Amino acid sequence: MNFDDIYLKAGELINQPIYSVPPDLLQNAVETIRRKTPKSAEQFERAKQLIPGGSQHMMTCKDPHSITIKRSLGAEMWDLDGNRYLDYLMTLGPVILGHGYPQLMEEISNVILEEGSATGLTSEWEIKACEQIVRHVKSVDKVRYFQSGTEANLAAVRLARAYTGKKKIIRIGGAYHGWSDEFVYDMQIPFSGAFQAAGIPEEHFANVIGVGPNDVPALEKAFEEAEKNGGAAALIVEPTGPETGALPVHPDFNKTARELCDRFEALLIFDEVVTGFRMAMGGAQEIYGIDADLTVFGKLITHGFPSSGALGGRKEVMDCLAGLVEGKPKPFVAGTVAGSSLTSAATYWSLKFIEEENAIEKANEKASQLCKGLNGLFDQLSLPFFSHTCASLVHFEITAPLYVDIRNPDNIMEALARKQAVDDLSTVFLAEGIQTKYGARAFLSMAHTEEHIEETLTVFEKVLKQLVQQS
Q: Strand 393-397 relative to strand 84-87: parallel, antiparallel, unpaired?
A: unpaired
**Are 301 and 409 in a shared domain?**
no
7 contacts: CB under 8 Å, gap ≥ 6: 248, 403
Q: Which amino acid appears at position 200 of this protein?
A: I
Q: Which of 43-47, 61-65, 439-443 has the lowest mean pLDDT?
A: 61-65
**Does the predicted TM-score (pTM) go above 0.85?**
yes
Position 60 confidence tier, pLDDT thresholds 50, 70, 90: confident
Alpha-helical regions (H) of 188-314: 216-227, 242-245, 253-263, 283-288
Question: Are 318 and 449 part of one and the same domain?
Answer: no
User: For 69-102, b where at least 16 C-beta lie within 10 A, e where not — what string?
Assistant: beebebbbbebbeebebbbbbbbbbbbbbbbebe
Amino acid residing at 29: A
Q: What is the DSSP string of 144-209?
A: EEESSHHHHHHHHHHHHHHHH---EEEEETT----SSGGGGTT-SSTT-TTTT-TTS-GGGGTTEE
Q: Are 61 and 34 in contact (CB under 8 A)?
A: no
Confidence of residue 57 (pLDDT cuts 50, 70, 90): confident
CB 399 within 8 A of CB 9: no
Peptide bond into 307 cis (omega under 30): yes
38 and 123 fall within a common domain: no
pLDDT at 182 over 80: yes
Q: Quick check: 59 pLDDT over 80?
A: no
DSSP state of 249: P
Which has more confidence, 350 or 470? 350
Domain C-terminal end among 330, 356, 382: 356
Helix (H, G, I), strand (E, B) or coil at 346: helix
Inform me whether the pLDDT recorded for 221 exceeds 70: yes
Instruction: For 95-114, give the DSSP string.
Output: --S-BT-HHHHHHHHHHHHH
Rounded distance, CA 19 to CA 468, Å? 5
Q: Are 363 and 446 in contact (CB under 8 A)?
A: yes
CATH number, residue 57: 3.90.1150.10
CA dist 193 → 135, 184, 188, 257, 276 (Å): 38, 8, 10, 22, 27
Bridge partners (DSSP) listed for residue 295: 270, 312
Q: What is the distance between the alpha carbons of residues 432 and 95, in angstroms, rounded to a whole number?
A: 22
Q: What is the DSSP string of 377-443?
A: HHHHTT---EEEEETTEEEEESS-GGGS-TTSGGGHHHHHHHHHHHHHHHHHHHHTTEE-BTTTEEE
Higher pLDDT, 214 or 204: 214
Q: State the pLDDT at residue 236.
A: 98
Residues 183 and 311 in one domain: yes
Q: Does one domain contain both 134 and 254?
A: yes
Q: What is the pLDDT of residue 256?
A: 98
Q: How far apart are CA 184 and CA 180, in angstroms?
A: 6
**Residue 61: what pLDDT?**
82
Q: How confident is the model at residue 149 (pLDDT cuts 50, 70, 90)?
A: very high
Do 352 and 364 fall into the same domain?
no
pLDDT (0 to 100) of residue 331: 97
The CATH number given to whatever domain includes residue 165 is 3.40.640.10
- Residues 66 and 206 grouped into a single domain: no
| pLDDT at residue 471, as a whole number | 66
Which residue segment(s) compose the domain that 10 sits in? 3-97+358-469
pLDDT score for 470: 84
**147 shares a domain with 30:** no
Residue where one domain finishes, among candidates 331, 356, 381: 356
Q: Is the dihedral of CA 190, 194, 195, 200 positive or negative?
A: positive
Helix, strand, or coil here: 444?
coil
The DSSP call for residue 319 is: G
> Using CA atoms, how far apart are residues 99 and 30, in angstroms rounded to an integer?
27
Q: Is the pLDDT of residue 247 over 80?
A: yes
Share of the chain above pLDDT 90, in %: 94
Q: What is the pLDDT of residues 396-438, one digit of tens each?
A: 999 999 999 999 999 999 999 999 999 999 999 999 999 999 8
The mean per-residue pLDDT over the stretch 250-259 comes to 97
pLDDT for 454 equals 98
The tally of domains found in the chain comes to: 2
**How sure is the predictor about 461, in pLDDT bands with cuts at 50, 70 and 90?**
very high
Q: Are residues 181 and 170 in contact, defined by beta-carbon separation less than 8 angstroms? A: no
Q: Tell me if 156 sits within 8 A of 148, measured CB to CB.
A: no
Whether residue 82 is found in the same domain as residue 106: no
Average pLDDT, the chain: 96
Could you tell me if 348 and 404 lie in one domain? no
Q: What is the DSSP string of 16-79?
A: SPPEE--HHHHHHHHHHHHHH-HHHHHHHHHHHTTSGGG-S-TT---SS-PPPEEEEEBTEEEE
- Residue 414 and residue 330 share a domain: no
- pLDDT for 411 equals 94
Q: Which of 340, 356, 372 is the last residue of a domain?
A: 356
Beta carbons of 228 and 215 less than 8 angstroms apart: no
In tens, the pLDDT along 292-316 reads 999 999 999 999 999 999 999 999 9
For the segment 244-266, the average pLDDT, to the nearest whole number, is 97
Confidence at residue 58, expressed as pLDDT on a 0 to 100 scale: 79
**Which pLDDT value is given to residue 382?**
97
Residues 211 and 342 occupy one common structural domain = yes
